[in-house]
């Protein structure tokens, strides 16, 4: 059975297109917790709150402003999704990934995803950046579960979820702007609880370098519709339980505010490279 989500991404794209005017961005950027400030640098921008877009759910978490911002970043046309909805708010995996379908329907073929993440790799310091080279879906669901959405494949290949060439450009950009950038595996968990010490040990044994509560549904849908994907985890904290102090969302936002400039420099440079 082939179905379309209701409303379909293409009908939503059709509705949005007049607001975008002559803009036809090929690059979409998902800006995660505390990382939305990059959207403020987008010139000649059109900003549409998620709440005004049919089919979009509304972000309810501090640090996720929740707007589609289209315009030019360093002269390159981009479509930014500033903020995202999370499954721990009660939305489905398909809800979480729907904006990716709309970005694709609007013509984006390259997707950059970002998130705030905890370090599972003991060498990762808070404030550092990790290029995502693979992920582990530990959300116990999948946005493609259910009837096949029109345009999707039933069994999408996931042997290269994050595009090697786009990741190489992330490393090139990191060198250009003088930011150190590791590679690593992102584990996506449902949340909203942070991890227990036993879960941290489990994730480390599974090969996770970073852990967070997003991104995986978006990347699965992007691959299913044929977009190329690159991603960065902004490491906001050491593994929960490892410092002796409880972990809070305020800590996560504080470090993105303090060290977010490096992230923005890197993404700006990367966009210029892949344009």
| Binding flag, residue 199, ligand HPA (CB under 6 A) | no
Omega within 30 of 0 (cis) for the link into 7 = yes
- Which of 252, 253, 266, 271 contacts ligand HPA by CB under 6 A? 252
| Binding flag, residue 31, ligand HPA (CB under 6 A) | no
Binding mask 102-121 for ligand HPA (x = CB under 6 A): --------------xxx---
| Binding flag, residue 194, ligand HPA (CB under 6 A) | yes
Which letter, b or e, does each residue of 144-172 get, where b requires 16 or more Cβ atoms within 10 Å of its Cβ? beeeebebbeeeeeeeebbbeebbebbee
Q: Restricting to residues 116-145, name those near ligand HPA by CB under 6 A.
A: 116-118
- Which of 34, 83, 126, 212 contacts ligand HPA by CB under 6 A? 212
Task: Considering the complex, state which of residue 114 and residue 237 has its C-beta at the smaller distance from ligand HPA.
Answer: 237
- Which of 27, 113, 130, 213 contacts ligand HPA by CB under 6 A? 213
Task: Considering the complex, state which of residue 72 and residue 88 has its C-beta at the smaller distance from ligand HPA.
Answer: 88
Distances (CA, A) of 86 to 60, 112, 152, 165: 9, 17, 22, 28
Residue nearest to ligand HPA (CB): 118
Task: Considering the complex, state which of residue 53 and residue 252 has its C-beta at the smaller distance from ligand HPA.
Answer: 252
Task: Considering the complex, state which of residue 1 and residue 250 has its C-beta at the smaller distance from ligand HPA.
Answer: 250
- Which of 9, 179, 211, 219 contacts ligand HPA by CB under 6 A? 211
Tokens coding 52: 């005004």
Q: Which range, of 63-71, 158-166, 208-216, 265-273, touches ligand HPA by CB under 6 A?
A: 208-216
| Binding flag, residue 237, ligand HPA (CB under 6 A) | yes
Q: Which range, of 10-18, 141-149, 161-169, 207-215, touches ligand HPA by CB under 6 A?
A: 207-215
Contact 136, 185 (CB under 8 A): yes
Binding mask 67-106 for ligand HPA (x = CB under 6 A): ----------------------------------------
Distance in angstroms (rounded) separating the CA atoms of residues 136 and 194: 17
Distance in angstroms (rounded) separating the CA atoms of residues 112 and 88: 22
Task: Considering the complex, state which of residue 128 and residue 240 has its C-beta at the smaller distance from ligand HPA.
Answer: 240
Binding site for ligand HPA (CB under 6 A): 116-118, 194-195, 211-213, 236-237, 240, 247, 252
């Amino acid at each position: 059975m082939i179905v379309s989500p209701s409303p379909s991404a293409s009908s939503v794209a059709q509705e949005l297109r007049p607001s975008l005017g002559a803009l036809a961005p090929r690059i979409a950027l998902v800006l995660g917790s505390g990382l939305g400030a990059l959207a403020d640098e987008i010139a000649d921008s059109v900003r549409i709150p998620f709440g005004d877009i049919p089919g979009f759910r509304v972000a309810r978490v501090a640090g996720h402003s929740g707007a589609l911002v289209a315009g030019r970043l360093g002269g390159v046309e981009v479509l930014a999704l500033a903020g995202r909805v999370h499954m721990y708010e009660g939305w489905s995996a398909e809800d979480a990934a729907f904006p990716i379908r709309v970005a694709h329907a609007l013509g984006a073929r390259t997707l950059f995803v970002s998130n705030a993440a905890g370090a599972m790799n003991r060498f990762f310091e808070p404030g550092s950046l990790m290029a995502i080279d693979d992920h582990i879906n530990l959300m116990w669901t999948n946005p493609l579960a259910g009837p096949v959405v029109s345009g999707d494949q039933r069994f999408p290949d996931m042997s290269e979820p994050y595009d090697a060439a786009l990741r190489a450009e992330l490393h090139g950009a990191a060198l250009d702007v003088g930011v150190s950038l590791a590679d690593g595996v992102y584990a996506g968990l449902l949340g909203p609880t942070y991890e227990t010490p036993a879960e941290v040990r489990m994730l480390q044994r599974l090969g996770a370098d970073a852990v967070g509560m997003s991104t995986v549904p978006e990347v699965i849908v992007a691959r299913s519709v044929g977009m190329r994907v690159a991603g960065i985890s902004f490491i906001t904290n050491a593994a929960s339980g490892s410092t002796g102090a409880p972990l809070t969302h305020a800590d996560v936002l504080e470090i993105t505010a303090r060290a977010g400039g490096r992230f923005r420099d890197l993404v700006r440079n990367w966009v210029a490279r892949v344009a």
